[in-house]
């Protein structure tokens, strides 16, 4: 990955920031994006203090024009784009019967359309470099999670898009990776949207028991180097995908039971 130009959306915290550190320490040139200038500035200072060549740009992935500007900025600063890591994402927690549909739309705009926009404007450059497109999906893209309508739907859609792209790029030398972390310690649950669109605030799960963002980033880095098609992380994640394929009825009950144990769970 030395001297590869890597764009990471949502790169100012969590898995995105850990990916910037992981690729950057291996010699990649990094462009991180995000919606908060202060968070981006702080992340950029940390990256540069570690000797990583990095840039940052304010960009809202849900806005097509921001993604166009992001790709142009990368070309202006580095002259090429080798890898796009579609990491920016948001979650929600509310029963479908209670949720405001604008909440679902907001999640889809970021998690699905944000990937389409970013990939659309970076892809011509990635094709030239025979590089990689990475989508950070989720086990929730294989198994629908109750009270996560928008999140699971966006990840199912994302995985369909990445499969299409991988097939279309088969003879163009472009690598497409669908990376599916299990539960990983990050800010995504704290910023998760509730039924009315307000932020949840506190995580309903035991973050300290989860895979760290840094460990997750290491797995994604190695999968990118090896040009793997899929990466499914954690034993729980692998087991969920397997059981859901062969025993969907059983999994309905098991998943309901597990999710109902969350703090202040919408499920009764």
- Upper half-sphere CA count for residue 125 (Cβ side, 13 Å): 24
Question: Which element (helix H / strand E) includes 67?
Answer: helix 64-78
User: 3-state class of 93 per DSSP?
Assistant: coil
96 Cβ neighbours under 8 A, 6+ residues apart? 149
SS (H, E, C) 199-247: ECCCCCCCHHHCECHHHHHHHHHHHHHCCCCEEECCHHHHHHHHHHHHC
Output the six-digit token pair for 184: 């990983």
Question: Which residues on neighbouring strands pair with residue 32, listed in sequence order?
Answer: 8, 56
Q: What is the DSSP letter of 140?
A: G
Catalytic residue among 113, 121, 151, 221: 151
Residues in the chain: 268
230 is catalytic: no
Q: Is the distance from CB of 31 to CB of 55 less than 8 angstroms?
A: yes
Question: Other CB atoms closer than 10 Å to residue 3's CB: what's the count?
Answer: 11
Widest distance between CA atoms in the chain:
54
In angstroms, the CA 258 to CA 102 distance is 27
For the annotated catalytic residues, the residue numbers are 151
């Amino acid at each position: 990955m030395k001297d590869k130009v890597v764009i990471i959306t949502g790169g100012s915290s969590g898995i995105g920031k850990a990916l910037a550190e992981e690729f950057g320490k291996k010699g990649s040139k990094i462009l991180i994006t995000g919606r908060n200038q202060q968070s981006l500035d702080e992340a950029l200072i940390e990256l540069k203090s570690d000797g990583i060549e990095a840039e940052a740009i304010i960009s809202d992935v849900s806005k097509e024009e921001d993604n166009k500007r992001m790709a142009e900025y990368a070309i202006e600063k580095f002259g090429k784009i080798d890898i796009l890591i579609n990491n920016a994402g948001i979650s929600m927690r509310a029963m479908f019967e209670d949720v405001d549909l604008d909440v679902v739309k907001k999640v889809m705009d970021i998690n699905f359309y944000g990937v389409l926009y970013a990939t659309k404007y970076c892809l011509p450059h990635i094709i030239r470099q025979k590089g990689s497109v990475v989508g950070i999906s989720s086990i929730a893209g294989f198994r629908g999670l109750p009270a996560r309508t928008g999140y699971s739907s966006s990840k199912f859609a994302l995985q369909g898009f990445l499969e299409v792209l991988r097939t279309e790029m088969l003879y163009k030398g472009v690598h497409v990776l669908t990376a599916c972390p299990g539960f990983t310690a990050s800010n995504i649950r704290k910023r998760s949207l509730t039924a009315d669109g307000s932020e949840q605030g506190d995580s309903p799960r035991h973050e300290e028991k989860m895979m760290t963002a840094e460990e997750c980033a290491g797995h994604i880095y190695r999968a990118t180097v090896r040009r793997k098609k899929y990466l499914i992380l954690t034993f729980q994640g692998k087991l969920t995908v397997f059981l859901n394929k062969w025993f969907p009825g059983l999994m309905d009950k098991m998943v309901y039971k597990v999710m109902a144990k969350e703090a202040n769970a919408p499920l009764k």
